[in-house]
Amino acid sequence: MTTQVLTQASNKRRAGGWRHAVEVLVRTLAAAFGGYLLAHAFSALAASVLPFARPDRVVAGALLAFPVWCAAAVYAFGARDWKRAAGIPLLLALAMLGLAALLAEQALRP
């Protein structure tokens, strides 16, 4: 009886370890690529809305994008589940890119 319980516990641990490894991989990809996409979207939006000259807007947007990428990476590993870890930064990035596209004419100002 005890051997059977130990075998079942061992099988659950192996299956759980595989799932955990896949979840960590998904969160890592979400942190790296999702964070990059979110940082890029933030940089594009910042270059459109900041009240500086065009070169200064671009540089400021690029510099401010690094903390956004770090925050996205922290969120990817702090989210409740892997779906939120991958989905929320993607939705935010799409919203920011949409706003940046709407404000593209404003970004061309000197």
User: What's the pLDDT at 12?
Assistant: 57
- pLDDT tens per residue, range 14-47: 667 788 899 999 999 999 999 999 999 999 999 9
Please give the radius of gyration of the chain, using alpha carbons only, rounded to the nearest integer.
Answer: 21
pLDDT of res. 26: 95
pTM, whole model, 2 decimals? 0.80
The dihedral formed by the CA atoms of 56, 37, 89 and 86, expressed in degrees to the nearest 10: -160
Boundaries of every domain in the chain: 2-107
pLDDT of residue 89: 95
* DSSP codes joined into one string, the chain: -HHHHHHHHHHHHHHHHHHHHHHHHHHHHIIIIIHHHHHHHHHHHHHHH-SS-HHHHHHHHHHHHHHHHHHHHHHHHHSSSHHHHHHHHHHHHHHHHHHHHHTHHHHT--
What would the pLDDT profile of 58-103 be if each residue is shown by its tens digit?
Answer: 999 999 999 999 999 999 999 999 999 999 999 999 999 999 999 8
For residue 104, the model assigns a pLDDT of 82
Phi/psi for 51 (5° steps) reads -90, 45
